Structure 1
Amino acid sequence: MTQNLPPLPTFGTEGHRGARGLSPENSIPAMRKALDLGVTTLEMDCHITKDGQVVVTHDPHINPAYARTPKGEDIPKEDAKKYVVYQMNYDQVRAFELGTKAYALFPEQQLVKTYIPRLAELIDSVQNYLKATGKPQVFYNIETKSKATGDNKLHPAPEAFVKALMQVIEDKKITPYVIIQSFDPRTLQVLHQKHPQVRTSLLIDNQKSVEENIKDLGFTPVVYSPHRKLVTAELVKQCHALGMKVIPWTANTPEDIARMKALGVDGIISDYPNLFFQ
C-alpha cells in the first residue's frame, strides 16, 4: 500500500508538539522553530471542536498550566477541566491565550503570544514557510487524542474523528507526508480499513510484548512508537523483523538521545529538537 509514497527519513528527527521545550507547544511558532532547526518531522496532537474543526492541541481541556483565558487571566486550578475543546466552537477555543504564561516544566520556552490553531491553518503556514525558505518537505506525525471513555464527551467516536482529520489532510494534499499515531488502536484500525494508504504509528506506554500489542491492534503499523524507557535492543530487533520502524518518545537530554541511537532506533521524538543538531 505504501509503494508510491515517499520514503520515511533514514533517521527521523521529530519535534514534539513542534518544539515545546523552546516554544509554546502545538502552536504555529513552535512548528516554525522546529523547521528552522532542521527537523525531518513535525509531531503534533489533534482534537475536534463542537463545530467540527480539527485543532492542534494535546489536552481535551484548555490547560491552565500554560494557557490563559481570552481576557489574559490565569485559569483557576478548580477550572482545570471546565473548558472542554469538544464542547466549544472554534472561535471560542481560538480566543484563549497561549505563550504569555511561563510553563514551569520548560524554563527555556520562549514566550510569544499565540493561540490554538486549526490543523488546516497550521498546514498552510508550514507549507508556505517551506516554500518561502526553500526548505525540504517535512513529514507530519499527527496524533489522534482519543480513548474509549471519552467518546462523544471529550472527542468524537473513532470513525467521525478519523473522517474529520482525513478531510483536512486530503484537502491540503499532504497525505503522502502524513503518519497518524495514537495510543487508541480504534482510530488506527479505522484508518487501516478506510485509508490503507496512510501510514500509521502505534504509541506504546505499557508492559506488553511487541507481539501482544500488534495482536491487539490487528495489523502491523509502519511505526512502533514506545516510551523511551521501554526501548531495548531486543525490542528494536523484534520490530525490525516485523518491518516496523522504531521511533520512541520523548528523549530530552543528549544522553537519552545517544542511548536511543545506540540501541538502533529509526528516529526520536524530542521536546528539544535543537539537541539533534549539536
Structure 2
Amino acid sequence: MRKQLFILFAMTVLGLSATAQTKVIAHRGAWKKDKLPQNSLASLLQAAELKVWGSEFDVHLTKDDVLVVNHDADFYGTDIATSTLEELATKLHPNGEYIPTLEEFLNIGLQLDGLKLILELKQSGAGKERTLAAVPMILNLIKKLNAESSVEIISFDYDACLKVRELNATIPVHYLNGDKSPEEIKSAKLSGVDYHYSLFQKNPTWIAAFKALGLKTNAWTANKKEDIQFLVDQKIDFITTDEPELALELVK
C-alpha cells in the first residue's frame, strides 16, 4: 500500500513538473499602467509589487567604465557610450530619478524577495570591444554582491553571450536575436533563448525543440492577449511583456 502511494505521489509530482506554469517577466520593469519611467527604480519596485517572476532591465557601459541602467543608447539626449556618469547625471527621469548605476539597481533588486533580475547587456554604440569589455565587469559585480542566484543575463550580441559562458559556467544566459538553432544554443552551452514571440508563432515546433534539449524558452515582447495566450498554450517557460498585469491573469 505504501509503495502504491509513493508511486502515485511521484507520478503527480512529475505531472506537475511537466506542466509547470509559464512565468511572467516585466519588460523594463512594470511601468506602463502607472506611467513610470522605464528601467527606473520605481518600475523595478512596481514589478516586485505585482509579484511577477522577474523584471528585465538594460545595461550600458559609460565612457568612464560605469555600468548604468537605461534602454536607449542615450539618456534624454546624452549619449551613454561617449559620456561620463557625471555628465549623465545632469539629466533626470520625469519622476526625478537619476540614471541608476547597475550596482545601485542590483542592490535595490536584491532586497525584493523572490524577484529575478533579468539583465540585458546592450550592444555598445562605441563598438564590439566595449560591449565585450562590459561582460567581466558585470560578472565581477554580480559576484561582489553575491547575486549569482538572483540574476540572469540576456543579449542580442551572440559573442557577448559566449563571453559570459566562457567566464562563468553556471549563470543563466539567453540569446535574443532569433537566428540560432536549438542545436547551436546547446553546443554553445547557453541556458536557452529569448526570441521575439512572432518567431515562435511562425515556427510552432521551436518551443518543444528547445525544451527537448533541456533549454529554456522565453518570448519578447508579447503584449496582446492573443499572443500571450498562444505562448501559454505552447507551454513556453517565460513571457516578457509590457503588460504584466494581463499576462499574470492569463497564466493563471
Unaligned 5+ segments in structure 1 are 1-8, 68-74, 76-82, 101-111, 131-135
Q: 2:97 matched to 1:86?
A: no
- Does residue 135 of structure 2 align to residue 162 of structure 1? yes
Matched, 1:121 2:104: yes
Identity of aligned residues (%): 27
Q: CA deviation at 1:157?
A: 4.3
CA contact (8 A) 1:228 1:248 kept: yes
Equivalenced residues, count: 226
CA distance in 1, matches of 2:21, 2:150: 14
- What secondary structure does 1:247 align onto? strand
Give TM-score scaled by structure 1 length: 0.75
Query: Of 139, 150, 155, which residue of structure 1 is paired with 2:127?
Result: 150
Determine which of 12, 16, 25 is the counterpart of 2:38.
Answer: 25
* 1:265 corresponds to 2:236: yes
Q: Which runs of 5+ in 2 are unaligned?
A: 1-19
- Matched position secondary structure for 2:37: coil
Larger C-alpha radius of gyration, 1 or 2? 2
Q: What RMSD in Å do the two structures reach over aligned CA positions?
A: 2.2
1:16 pairs, out of 10, 24, 27, with 27
More helix, by proportion = 2
Aligned pair in 2 of structure 1 residues 271, 45: CA closer, same or farther (>3 Å)? same
Cα distance, 1:172 vs structure 2: 1.3
Maintained 8 Å contact 1:220/1:242: no
Distance 1:149-1:121 versus aligned 2 partners, 3 A rule: closer
Residues 271/163 of structure 1: CA separation in 2 closer, same or farther (3 Å cut): same
Is the 8 Å Cα contact of residues 192 and 217 (structure 2) preserved in structure 1?
Answer: yes
In structure 2, relative to structure 1, the CA distance for the partners of 1:61 and 1:230 (3 Å cut) is same
Q: Which residue number in structure 2 is paired with residue 171 of structure 1?
A: 144
Does the 8 Å contact 2:174/2:190 carry over to 1? Answer: yes
Is the 1:15–1:39 Cα contact (8 Å) retained in structure 2? yes
Q: Give the AA of the match of 1:199.
A: P
For 1:104, the equivalent position in structure 2 comes to: none
With the length of structure 2 as denominator, give the TM-score of the two structures. Answer: 0.82
- Per mean C-alpha deviation after superposition, the further-off stretch among 37-46 and 218-227 is 218-227
> Equivalent residue of 1:47, what SS?
strand
Q: What code does the residue aligned with 2:117 have?
A: Y
Match of 2:223 in 1: 252
How far apart, CA to CA, are the structure 2 residues paired with 1:237 and 1:198?
23
Q: Secondary structure at the match of 2:65?
A: coil
Shift of 1:235: 0.4
Q: Secondary structure at the match of 1:196?
A: coil
Q: Is the 8 A contact 2:68 2:100 kept in 1?
A: yes
